Structure 1
Amino acid sequence: MKTIASCVEEILITQPFLEEALFREIINFSALSEELQEPISKMLRKPVKTGAIMMALRRYNPPRHLRQSQQLKLVLKELGDITVRSNLLDFTFQNSATLIESHAKVLENLNPKAFYGFSRGIYESNIVVSESEKQIVIDSFKQENMIGSQSNLSAISIRLPENNSKISGLYYQIFKRFAWENISLYEVISTTNEFTVLVENHLVDKAFSAIKSLNSF
């Protein structure tokens, strides 16, 4: 059976920005209660008083990553070097029995100084390379089914602290910052201690500034 408290939690979970503003006490409880009165009344199919909603908001228990924000702040301040590489291409190929062989041909001819990234999903695989290596990829994968390609991309790579996998909410903060700045990500590549995002060239300066601002969280 739904309650006012469960409705409040459901709404806040689907709106993380609102949830964080509530946790940081930078939002007006009274105004928010009035804003939520109509949707919660519809969810419960009966009139609900704003006072009851306000009480549920004050009693709301935030998720762990928000309660441990101090530990998260320390990790964000320990973010390592940020590296930017421009003039990149992204290729998406449908997985096949011969895809690994085609991939091996790329590795045999790739310039060691060129940017290169490879990720394999269940149904498709991505290769990100410097534009100078475009023809090598095209020749090596000529027998494969190319689903799509994108040029004019830049990669921003961040070195993460070694204990990053133990800290909940780290990636949330990174993606949240991009969302706030209205930066769309074309691709994400992640290893244990390194995180790379691909954006279109015209967004690279904005994305770089967004990542740098994480230190001030």
Structure 2
Amino acid sequence: MKTISSVVEHYIKTKPFLLSALSQGIINLTSLSRNMLPDLKQELGKEVKQGAVVMALKRLSEDLDFRLNHKILKVLKSIGEITVRSSLTDFTFAVSDKILDKQASLISEINTYSDIFYTSSRGVSETNIVVSESVSHLVDKHFVGEKLLHKWENLASITVKLPKDNVSTPGVYYFIFQRLAWEGIIVNEVISTSYEFTILVSEEEVDVAFKVIKDLKSL
């Protein structure tokens, strides 16, 4: 059986930015409840009192404050080293039977260069390669004949080391990427391991993105 509390919680959870703002206590609950009433009435199939909605929102915001602030913020305060690299090029190729061999030959040649950024990931139908612009010509050389889907230049990477608690704490990545979205940061790529992740953004936005992530440690 649907209750006002369950319907209110479902409504809030379907709106990520509203969910975060509610957890921070920066929303006028009376105004929010007024806007929600038509949707809640339709969902429950009966009239809903605004006061009941306000009480449900208050209880939910207190619960969210515990779930988000006390768990996620503990992880964010323990963020480790943040590393920035600039002048990167991002290639995306369609997967083929020969692409792994070509990638191996690329890595072999790149290893002869010093202080070069290289990372790659593979999906079901795409292979992604990110390298320093100074060796981007080597990608063109070794991947002749492969289907290039995208090529992004003038990118920068931000690599963040996370504490081990991040793998057992739900919402950490959501919280980080939500902050980036609020600032209008476009994330071109995300590359992650268990205890660190790297995002690629345009060089024009890297300073803002770095500040957003750095400021998470002082929340």
> Structures share a fold, TM > 0.5?
yes
Q: What's the secondary structure of 1:168's corresponding residue?
A: coil
Count of paired positions:
217
Q: What's the secondary structure of 1:60's corresponding residue?
A: helix
Counterpart of 1:127, as a letter, is I
Asked whether the equivalents of residues 102 and 140 of structure 1 are also in contact (C-alpha less than 8 Å), the reply is yes
Task: Kindly provide the CA deviation profile for residues 47-99 of structure 1, in whole angstroms up to 9, marking residues without a partner as x.
Answer: 43312322332343877795252243232122111111111000000111111
In the alignment, the residues of structure 2 paired with residue 135 and residue 96 of structure 1 have an alpha-carbon distance, to the nearest angstrom, of 20
In the alignment, the residues of structure 1 paired with residue 148 and residue 22 of structure 2 have an alpha-carbon distance, to the nearest angstrom, of 46
How far residue 168 of structure 1 moved from its aligned partner, in angstroms, is 2.1
Could you say which residue in structure 2 is the equivalent of 1:104?
Answer: 104
Select the residue among 198, 201, 207 that pairs with 1:199: 201
Counterpart of 2:42, as a letter, is K
Counterpart of 2:169, as a letter, is I
In the alignment, structure 2 segments of 5+ residues that lack a partner are none
Relative distance call for 1:65 and 1:165 in structure 2 (3 A) is farther
Counterpart of 1:154, as a letter, is A
User: Which stretch shows the higher mean deviation, 174-183 or 114-123?
Assistant: 174-183
Could you say which residue in structure 2 is the equivalent of 1:164?
Answer: 166
Give the TM-score, by structure 1 length: 0.90
Relative distance call for 1:62 and 1:150 in structure 2 (3 A) is farther
Relative distance call for 1:138 and 1:62 in structure 2 (3 A) is farther
Task: Kindly provide the CA deviation profile for residues 111-152 of structure 1, in whole angstroms up to 9, marking residues without a partner as x.
Answer: 242100100001101000001111110111112111111101
Could you say which residue in structure 1 is the equivalent of 2:135?
Answer: 133
Asked whether the equivalents of residues 65 and 169 of structure 1 are also in contact (C-alpha less than 8 Å), the reply is no
Q: What RMSD over aligned residues (CA atoms) do the two structures have, in Å?
A: 2.1
Moved over 6 A (4+): 61-65
In the alignment, the residues of structure 2 paired with residue 157 and residue 36 of structure 1 have an alpha-carbon distance, to the nearest angstrom, of 40
Asked whether the equivalents of residues 79 and 161 of structure 1 are also in contact (C-alpha less than 8 Å), the reply is yes
In the alignment, structure 1 segments of 5+ residues that lack a partner are none
In the alignment, the residues of structure 2 paired with residue 20 and residue 66 of structure 1 have an alpha-carbon distance, to the nearest angstrom, of 12
Q: What's the secondary structure of 1:147's corresponding residue?
A: strand
Give the TM-score, by structure 2 length: 0.89
